[in-house]
Amino acid sequence: METKPLQDQYLRGRGLVSKPSLNFLRTYYLNAIALKISSN
């Protein structure tokens, strides 16, 4: 399982969409984009 970390990361991302940390990262990323757009 350690041979393909990127694929494992992708599968974990799809399987654990409701995970708090993943949800927080998605929200943070979207907020960062929104701030960049609104600041310009």
Can you tell me which residue has the tokens 């998605």?
A: 26
pLDDT digits (tens, 9 = 90+) for 1-40: 456 677 777 666 666 555 667 778 888 999 999 999 888 7
**Residue 1 and residue 8 in contact, taking contact as beta carbons nearer than 8 Å:** yes
- Residue 1 has a pLDDT of 45
Tell me 2's DSSP state: T
- Residue 14 has a pLDDT of 63
**Length of the chain, in residues:** 40
- Residue 22 has a pLDDT of 72
Domain range for residue 20?
5-39
- Residue 32 has a pLDDT of 92
Q: How many domains does the chain have?
A: 1
Q: What is the pTM of this model?
A: 0.42
- Who contacts 22 (Cβ-Cβ below 8 Å, separation ≥6)? 13, 16
